[in-house]
Amino acid sequence: MKILIIKFRNIGDVLLSTPLVENLKIHYTDAEIHFALNKGTEAMAAHHPDIAKLHIYDRETIRALPPLARIRQELAFARAIRRERYDMVINTTEGDRGAQLAWISGASVKIGYPPKKNRLLQKVFTHTLPPQGSRHTVEANLDALRVLGFSSVSKKVAMHYPDSAGKRVATLLADAGITPGEYIHFHPVSRWLFKCIDDGIAARLIDFCQRELDRRVVLTAAPVAAERKKLDAIKTRCTTEPLDLGGRLTLEETAALADKARLFIGVDTAVMHMAAALDTPVLAFFGPSGAFHWGPWDNACDESGYHARNGIQQMGRHRVIALNWECIPCGRDGCNGTKISDCLMQLPEPLIHTQLKAMIDDSNS
């Protein structure tokens, strides 16, 4: 049996699909599972032992092509899917492209969300997925299993990385005199900067960890100019010296760094999900996005712990801090078009310190 999972979204979205992969392999033991995803997200699936093949859609390159060349590339991608002769296709997100590929695949079982705009694709799917509502994204991804009549055996989010990534991180830590398991990994940036906390708060948090908690802080960021600039702005406000690995690590190496950390601190971003998937305790700051959808998932739990719209919430070893503002979460890219979220600029630092101390104490017990 051949199964294709389609997830044309971002890095964290792909990672949170891995419980579906594991469950499909449990219920269809002889299945060959393939994954179709956007270029740049493949690190979340490339090393998964239950995924046999990736179909990588290079969205940015294809969009930049002249019209005829773009059509040729789209057709080539569709033909590659068709040639696989899948028995089942699962499109885990809304949108026309996944529905089109499900139809083109010729699979006898097609699972997905009915497209809202294209009426021609309304009846593509043999099994339709229910709305996510306020449920966690892990649960929504497992709906594909439920419509097939199966229950989930595991809800574990799985992050895999190669040995080479672990070795490089070990070398970088050794060169800096940092002991694995004793440092705090802080990823204060996001592709969407409106998810970031205030630079001054971030800098004082680094100082607090290094002075008051006596834990070295290791900083990371993606190798893009906007995130590098943000990290530099934070560092200039620090009075201590964190280890800055911003822009120097691959996604797999960033995972290896999170894996060996005592604690991870960050905002709602893919790296936060990677740390949680590796069972590193996570302290995350939320504002525009809702923890009920995107909170760090604890693999030791069977049910989400994020039931409130905002405030301090906990799921197993992980904690989320959001202000108790009525507007949180708003789903917007900042307040009043500024690309800055006021709710993340005004986080109470004593509260953050209290939560951090509690998490460090928990990790020592």
User: Which domains, from first to last, does the chain contain?
Assistant: 2-147 (3.40.50.2000), 163-364 (3.40.50.2000)
Whether the per-residue pLDDT at 313 is higher than 80: the answer is yes
Rounded Cα distance, 141 and 135, in Å: 10
β-strand pairing of 2-7 with 32-38? parallel
Helix ranges (DSSP H) in 28-91 = 59-63, 67-83
Any alpha helices (H) in 32-122, and if so which ranges? 59-63, 67-83, 96-105
Structure confidence at residue 362 as a pLDDT band (50, 70, 90): confident
293 pLDDT more than 90:
yes
Judge contact between 47 and 164, C-beta under 8 A. Answer: no
Answer for the pair 284, 266: CB distance below 8 angstroms, yes or no: yes
Average pLDDT taken over every residue of the chain: 96
Q: Closest by alpha carbon to 272, among 258, 292, 261?
A: 258
Residues ≥6 apart with Cβ < 8 Å to 81: 4, 36, 55, 101, 104, 105
**Statement: residue 119 has pLDDT above 80:** no
Mean pLDDT of 248-277: 98
- What confidence score (pLDDT) does residue 95 get? 84
| 363 pLDDT tier (thresholds 50, 70, 90) | confident
Mean pLDDT for 300-310 is: 97
Contact indicator for 52, 31 with CB cutoff of 8 Å: no
In this predicted model, what pLDDT tens digit does every residue of 24-44 receive, in sequence order?
999 999 999 999 999 999 999
The pTM for the full model equals 0.96
